[in-house]
Amino acid sequence: GQQLNQSPQSMFIQEGEDVSMNCTSSSIFNTWLWYKQDPGEGPVLLIALYKAGELTSNGRLTAQFGITRKDSFLNISASIPSDVGIYFCAGRMSSGAGSYQLTFGKGTKLSVIP
């Protein structure tokens, strides 16, 4: 099956620092998504990317869809304590007949030191 390699697995940063994480795949995806999950909650969609090379921002978050369609990265600028959580990348492709499934990376656990 498809595998997404997400890195780093975890990171500890000072408040105010910028953060960068990425996902790579051996397969091509048509869509990349980035989610954040807080403890005890479901994943919340942050950014969706639909075209190779696309760069999209959502506040302090910026994500890019790699031109090979096999990778994506997420940057968070000027981190704040509420950025703490687990960030997941997800790739989506059609599996035929109008069916789609998301393949998730294993997550990057972000800790912010005030």
Binding site for another protein (CB under 8 A): 1, 31, 33, 35, 40-45, 48, 50, 88, 90, 92, 95, 97-107
Residue among 72 and 79 whose Cβ is closer to another protein = 72
Closest-CA residue to 64 (of 55, 75, 76): 55
> What tokens does 15 get?
């408040």
Shortest distance in whole angstroms from residue 78 CB to another protein: 26
Shortest distance in whole angstroms from residue 113 CB to another protein: 24
Closest-CA residue to 83 (of 34, 38, 33, 32): 38
